[in-house]
Amino acid sequence: MRKGFLAPNRSGMSKNTPKAIRGTQDIFGPDAEAFAYVVETFERVRKLYRFRRIEMPVFEKTEVFARSLGETTDVVSKEMYSFEDRGGDSLTLRPEFTAGIARAFLTNGWQQHAPLKVGTHGPLFRYERPQKGRYRQFHQIDAEIIGAAEPQADVELLAMADQLLKELGIEGVTLHLNTLGDGESREAWRAALIDYFRGVKDQLSEDSQERLEKNPLRILDSKDRRDQPFLPDAPKIDAFLSDEARAFFEAVTSGLDAAGVKWVRAENLVRGLDYYRHTAFEFIPEEGSAAADALGAQSTVLGGGRYDGLIENLGGAPTPAVGWAAGIERLAMLVGELEAENLDVAIIPMGDAALALSQSLAAELRAAHYSVEILATGKAKKRMARANEAGAAAALVIGDDEIAEGTVQFKDMQSGAQSELSREGILEPLMELTTARDMAFLDDEIASLADLADE
């Protein structure tokens, strides 16, 4: 062996094979199925609420995020992937969707569509310490309503989030709801928080001491043990709410009650970003629930709120808006094992001529929307076992005799019954078998729903 050449080991990797970037994931198997299921379910629910799909660039000018999120936020001050491109512009890989969507709203003149309801999903990038449920490239689903000032928009958006979690079958996750008031209420609250925390400044964590003057709301969000004793007695927003802000919050909560969305008040809930006004919310697993166990410390699955100040920060006319985002990986961790989708037809060709025929048969069946696998290698018995494992409704065995006769051996995998059918005669029994299988599945679903209703 030549010097310097490193032989691949059994996994096919040698010492000089490049590694994946820390905090990125290659998603495969059940995790990938769960990921796709989250996205598909989001797409379905998005359409029920009539949110339009948008696709957004993965990078933007750095100022899009710096100006909209606020310089004092963790995301801008330490988590952004920023770089200078060859033209000398400072660009940033998007750490969130909202700022880019707000930028697009202005640069494309989407005002004409207001109120604009949009949804999207894709990768985001934050330079964080990777751990379970926290990555440097992660993915979100995102929903926004731009140009709607009324509390009805908040209610609809929250109802959509709630329905999404239900459709995903996620249990034990609760909507925590707060109001940050309007600009005026928020300023008064902020001043009171600064006063209060100044009195105990020496005992606060370094992070909170630093936040005290710039972003005191964030101290309420602190997970540091040293800050905890001072949080329960901190001034509450309710004491500072203007009449308008109070009425707005009441309209949101009564709307949620009417829509059947359960919520709890979380007086210390603030969002990390500066641009929020009025409604702020997070869906968080209940302590001791399976969801909390699955997620560990990184527990917020979905968060958002109203950001009436953001579009102005980007130089637009004042434009009310509200939105949320949810981590796809975190939702996928709560979805659990999905049942693999059953195969419809396994084609088992014996010999080269049969293989060629299998290709054309497979093309016809797939055009008729049956899922098909051609199992071309291995012993016949092994292939039949593989068809069975894949949950095939039928197996079609083709050998030289069948080719000569224009037939196939058609096997009902459920009963094991086998018959010789003409190639044209396959579709009808195939439809019967797959329909019977789908009906049996539906019966099971209905039975388990009935069980749930009984409980």
Interacting residue ranges for ligand ATP, rule: CB under 6 A: 96, 126, 128, 133-135, 138, 140, 272, 298, 300-303, 325-327, 329-330
- Give phi and psi for 163, each to the nearest 5: -65, -40
CA gap 64, 75 in Å, rounded = 13
Shortest gap between Cβ of 295 and ligand ATP (angstroms)? Answer: 9
Q: Which is nearer to ligand ATP, 301 or 321 (CB)?
A: 301
The residue with its CB nearest to ligand ATP is: 327
Shortest gap between Cβ of 313 and ligand ATP (angstroms)? Answer: 17
Burial of 263 (0-12, 13-18, 19+ CB in 10 A): middle
Q: Which is nearer to ligand ATP, 117 or 139 (CB)?
A: 139
Q: Which is nearer to ligand ATP, 80 or 301 (CB)?
A: 301
Shortest gap between Cβ of 170 and ligand ATP (angstroms)? Answer: 12
- Give phi and psi for 162, each to the nearest 5: -65, -45
Q: Which is nearer to ligand ATP, 138 or 197 (CB)?
A: 138
Shortest gap between Cβ of 29 and ligand ATP (angstroms)? Answer: 19
302 beta partners: 283, 326
Q: Which is nearer to ligand ATP, 329 or 344 (CB)?
A: 329
Q: Which is nearer to ligand ATP, 229 or 296 (CB)?
A: 296
Shortest gap between Cβ of 375 and ligand ATP (angstroms)? Answer: 39
- Considering only CA atoms, which of 3, 35, 251, 249 is closest in space to residue 137? 35
Q: Which is nearer to ligand ATP, 280 or 426 (CB)?
A: 280
CA-CA distances (angstroms) from residue 211 to 73, 295, 337?
10, 28, 42
Q: Which is nearer to ligand ATP, 306 or 330 (CB)?
A: 330
Q: Which is nearer to ligand ATP, 133 or 349 (CB)?
A: 133
- DSSP for 127-145, please give it: ----BTTB-SEEEEEEEEE
- Give phi and psi for 285, each to the nearest 5: -65, 140
Pairing of strands 345-349, 372-374: parallel
**């399976």: which residue's tokens?**
290
Query: Could you tell me the two tokens for 342?
Result: 């059953």
Compute the Cα dihedral for 44, 48, 54, 60 and give only its sign.
Answer: negative
Compute the Cα dihedral for 124, 130, 134, 135 and give only its sign.
Answer: positive
Shortest gap between Cβ of 31 and ligand ATP (angstroms)? Answer: 13
**């140009």: which residue's tokens?**
147
Shortest gap between Cβ of 110 and ligand ATP (angstroms)? Answer: 23
Q: Which residues contact 108 (CB under 8 A, 6 or more apart)?
A: none
Compute the Cα dihedral for 416, 417, 423, 429 and give only its sign.
Answer: negative
- Considering only CA atoms, which of 336, 334, 335 is closest in space to residue 295? 334
Shortest gap between Cβ of 54 and ligand ATP (angstroms)? Answer: 18
Shortest gap between Cβ of 272 and ligand ATP (angstroms)? Answer: 5
